[in-house]
Copies of this chain bind each other. A is one copy, B any other.
Amino acid sequence: MLQFVGSNHHPTALAQIDFDTSAICQGLDFDTASRVAPLVSIRNYAAKQAIFYELDPAKYVYEVVTGVLTLYKQLPDGRRQITGFLYPGHYLGLTVHGHHVHSAEALTNVTVCRYPRCKIEKLVGELPALAMRLLTLTGNELAMAQEQMLLLGRKTATEKIASFLLTMSEQNGKRDDGKTSLYLPMSRVDIGDYLGLTIETVSRIFTRLRKAGVIALGQPNVVAVNDIGRLARLADGDDTLFCN
């Protein structure tokens, strides 16, 4: 783990960053990581604060350290599609011709690492390991985007919600006493905008899943998954909620 604690470039904040597990530096050898690390600066954003907007010129590449943020696109009349919820370890700052292709907003309070884009690009030209790393990360994002395209284009509302809960429980679920418990930092509006549904539909499907015993709902933001197998079958259309 790289430690820049006390470095005059970055007085204190860096102490909290584990470059071994950071999105961009993970798996990089020490020499490569030590070229990247000094570029970093830390930024904090309060929940609901914008980090950048679609079409803005992109000066930085970011990576989530703590908290969750939302990437989204909008139509002129305000309809919104969330393209991703980003948890710690993800990087962001995709551009085409130097401009952001989506907006980014803090969902919870977040801490991000920020790297000047021009310097990262220069380093990519010098450090093949960094280039490889970014290529892998971007490829993973693309694979997720394509999975989401299948969801948005071809799945029913129930399948969408089941898929969403399944993915979230795989990535962020806490397993205690044999069941998986989930904290969802996003509102129903956000879930709807992520899955291509309205809030009412999201709410109704949650209720149906609860009544079918597949999940249990505490506070609106807490979901307990009782039957993850059933959820997996529902996600792919191998099962329907109405058969009981």
Contacts and interface: CB of A to CB of B under 8 A. Distances in A.
A81 interface: yes
Contacts of A59: none
A147 B81 CA distance: 9
A177 interface: no
Interface stretch (A95-103, A180-188, A218-226): A95-103
Contacts of A121: 132
A83 B237 contact: no
Interface in A39-97: 71, 73, 75-77, 79-81, 83, 94-96
Interface in A142-173: 142-143, 145-150, 152-155
A24 interface: no
Nearest to A83: B146
A104 to B, nearest CB: 12
Interface stretch (A12-20, A110-118, A122-130): A122-130
A35 to B, nearest CB: 13
- Identical chains in the assembly: 2
B140 A96 contact: yes
Contact of A142 (B77, B131, B142): B142
Given A143-B96, A146-B83, A149-B148, A237 B131 contact: no
Interface centre among A129, A135, A141 (most CB of B within 10 A): A135
A81 B237 contact: no
Contact of A126 (B94, B128, B138): B128
Nearest to A73: B150
B94 A153 contact: no
Contacts of A134: 135
Contacts of A75: 150, 154-155, 236-237
17 contacts: A71-B146, A73-B146, A73-B147, A76-B237, A83-B150, A94-B143, A95-B139, A96-B139, A96-B143, A124-B128, A124-B135, A127-B128, A128-B131, A138-B138, A138-B139, A141-B142, A153-B196
Given A75-B154, A134-B135, A153-B196, 11 more contacts: A71-B146, A73-B149, A75-B150, A76-B236, A79-B154, A81-B150, A101-B143, A121-B132, A125-B128, A125-B129, A145-B149
